[in-house]
């Protein structure tokens, strides 16, 4: 908290001072240099997924550049790449985790980007214990215990104290997030709910349905389709139509055809399509929906400080853009990654105090992360619950905007905190 309060006002100044201090310091510098603390990250940083992973890495590097020394310790950044052949790979993540565990200078880790990588890393890093903070993992089973979770979060941590935290809202809250919005803002009362029958899709659809019913809305039809073998959705559309649906919610990822469903609604049922980040913000969804791509609403986990033009976030974003100026330097979760790094550095600072000014242990850093209360990041204000999740996850709402290439054919509407299911 102390560190970040500086950030807003005197960012460029702080950066300059830090640079000077570092340049003048050197290895034999004044008594202020007590050693090096390394902040690691784990993201897919090569191949196709580098478009997400590299900006995430840059955001961490940027956060570290703002805090080059903390209470006499030099802070260094060490990125790890978990992609193999351009795709995030749990095994590679596990390898990285083993390397990190063996490097005593690493006290905290930002990432990973993908839930299945986290699943592979947590069992290795929990006993060490090295704290992890992810900007992007949304799979609920990493932190919350549901009957379908295999393994359960406690098994995943091998009985150790929780070392895994995240600032992304979980999938089980995405459904309720859209239910809140559709019921309270769009004022719908009757919806049809479908899913692609996969863990993610069915999960969000079930949770949407639960929240919708508890809000007092009506579900006119609920069905799950076999995505691989279904290309004809007209019977489903007909069932929604005959029930008088004002909107259709589909829990699915783009590849499982929710937007083809929307295309086939043309001329039969002209109501909006609602859904999760499985297809929200995806340009492929707009292509799939053809000339019926208008009126698709989607949620994503986290706020969108860039599209949302958040004045609190603007100084940081502008400073980041000075260093990383290409449009591709900002992707989904870039500033969430920045927040994670800042939060960890803040926790490290507090842990140094706990250690009486000496180098803290990994357990001290982990405990300080767990104690984080109302940390003001630029994508939200974060407090962790006992599971390692944030207490009020933020979701953003988008609406399809076909033809508007500049914004990727999706228009930002708003962000709001959503209470858990």
Partner 1 sequence: MDGSPAGTAQDSAAAAQAEEVEDPAAIAARDQAWTEGLMAVRAGMVGNRWVRLLRWVVLAVVVAILLVMARNIATHGLAYFLQTVVYGLAGGSLYALIALGYTMVYGIIELINFAHADVVSFGGFISLYMVTAFGFKEGVVNGPLVMVGLVFITAATMLLCGTLNVTIERVAYRPLRNAPRVSPLITAAGMSFVLEGVMFLWKGPVNNHYPDLIPAGAVTALGTTVRTKDALVVVLALLLMLALDTFVTRSKLGKAMRATAQDRDAASLMGIDINRTIAATFFIGALLAGFAGTMYGLYFGNIVFDLGFATGLVAFTAAVLGGIGNIRGAALGGLCIGMFEAFWNSYFVSAWTQVMIFVILTLVLLFRPSGLLGMRVPDRT
State the pairing for strand pair 131-134/164-166.
Answer: parallel
Q: Give CA angle at 192 (260, 308), nearest 5°.
A: 70
Does residue 405 belong to the site contacting partner 1 (CB under 8 A)?
no
Q: Judged by CB under 8 A, which stretch of 40-48, 154-162, 210-218, 263-271 contacts partner 1?
A: 263-271
Looking only at residues 207 through 226 of this chain, which bind partner 1 when binding is defined by CB under 8 A?
223-226
Q: Report the nearest approach of partner 1 to the CB of residue 255 (Å).
A: 7
Q: Where are the alpha helices (DSSP H) in 216-313?
A: 234-242, 258-265, 283-289
Q: Kindly tell me which of 90 and 201 has the beta carbon lying closer to partner 1.
A: 201
CA atoms within 13 A on the CB side of 373: 1
Which region, judged by CB under 8 A, interacts with partner 1, from 82-90, 104-112, 159-167, 252-260?
A: 252-260
Yes or no: say if 157 and 149 are a contact pair by the CB < 8 Å rule. no
Is position 263 an interface residue for partner 1 (rule: CB under 8 A)? yes
- CA count, 13 A, side-chain hemisphere, 364: 17
Rounded to whole angstroms, how far apart are CA atoms 24 and 77?
20
DSSP strands (E only) in 82-233: 83-84, 87-88, 106-110, 131-134, 164-166, 190-195, 218-224
For the CB of residue 225, give the shortest distance to partner 1 in the complex, in Å. Answer: 5
List the one residue from 235, 358, 414, 419 that touches partner 1 (CB under 8 A). Answer: 235
From candidates 4, 197, 334, 421, binder to partner 1 by CB under 8 A: 197
- Considering only CA atoms, give the Rg of the chain: 22
Per rule CB under 8 A, is residue 190 in the interface with partner 1?
A: no
Count residues binding partner 1 (CB under 8 A): 31
Instruction: Give the shortest CB-233-to-partner 1 separation in angstroms.
Output: 8
Identity of the residue, 186 or 294, whose beta carbon is nearer to partner 1 in the bound complex: 294
Comparing CB distances to partner 1, the nearer of 210 and 266 is: 266
91's enclosing H/E stretch is helix 90-101
**Which residues bind to partner 1, rule: CB under 8 A?**
197, 223-226, 228-232, 234-236, 238-239, 242, 254-255, 257, 260, 263-264, 266-268, 284, 287-291
């Amino acid at each position: 908290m102390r560190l970040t309060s500086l950030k807003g006002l005197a960012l460029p100044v702080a950066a300059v001072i830090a640079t000077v201090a570092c340049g003048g310091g050197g290895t034999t510098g004044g008594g202020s240099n007590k050693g090096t603390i390394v902040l690691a990250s784990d993201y897919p940083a090569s191949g196709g997924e580098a478009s997400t992973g590299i900006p995430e890495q840059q955001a961490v590097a940027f956060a570290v550049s703002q805090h080059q020394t903390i209470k006499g310790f030099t802070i260094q950044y060490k990125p790890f790449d978990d992609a193999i052949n351009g795709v995030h790979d749990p095994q590679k993540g596990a390898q990285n985790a083993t390397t990190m565990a063996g490097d005593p200078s690493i006290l905290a880790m930002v990432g990973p980007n993908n839930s299945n990588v986290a699943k592979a890393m947590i069992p290795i890093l929990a006993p060490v214990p090295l704290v992890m903070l992810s900007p992007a993992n949304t799979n609920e089973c990493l932190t919350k215990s549901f009957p379908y979770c295999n393994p359960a979060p406690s098994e995943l941590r091998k009985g150790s104290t929780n070392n895994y935290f995240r600032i992304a809202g979980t999938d089980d809250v995405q459904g309720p997030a859209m239910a809140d919005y559709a019921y309270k803002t769009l004022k719908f009362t009757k919806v049809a709910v479908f899913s692609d029958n996969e863990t993610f899709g069915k999960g969000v659809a079930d949770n949407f349905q639960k929240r919708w019913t508890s809000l007092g809305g009506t579900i006119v039809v609920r069905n799950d389709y076999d995505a691989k073998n279904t290309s004809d959705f007209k019977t489903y559309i007909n069932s929604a139509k005959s029930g008088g649906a004002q909107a259709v919610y589909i829990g699915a990822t783009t590849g499982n055809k929710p937007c083809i469903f929307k295309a086939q609604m043309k001329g039969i049922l002209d109501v909006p399509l609602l859904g999760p980040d499985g297809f929200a913000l995806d340009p492929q969804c707009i292509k799939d929906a053809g000339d019926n791509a208008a009126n698709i609403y989607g949620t994503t986990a986290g706020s969108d400080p860039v599209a949302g033009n958040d004045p609190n976030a603007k100084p940081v974003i502008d400073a980041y853009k000075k260093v990383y100026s290409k449009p591709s330097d900002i992707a989904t979760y870039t500033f969430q990654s920045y927040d994670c790094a800042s939060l960890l550095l803040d926790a490290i600072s507090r842990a140094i105090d706990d250690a009486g000014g000496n180098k803290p242990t990994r357990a001290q850093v982990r405990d300080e992360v767990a104690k984080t209360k109302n940390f003001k990041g630029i994508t939200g204000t974060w407090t962790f619950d006992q599971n390692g999740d944030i207490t009020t996850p933020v979701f953003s709402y988008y609406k399809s905007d076909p033809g508007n290439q500049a914004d990727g054919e999706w228009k930002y509407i708003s962000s709001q905190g959503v209470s858990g299911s």
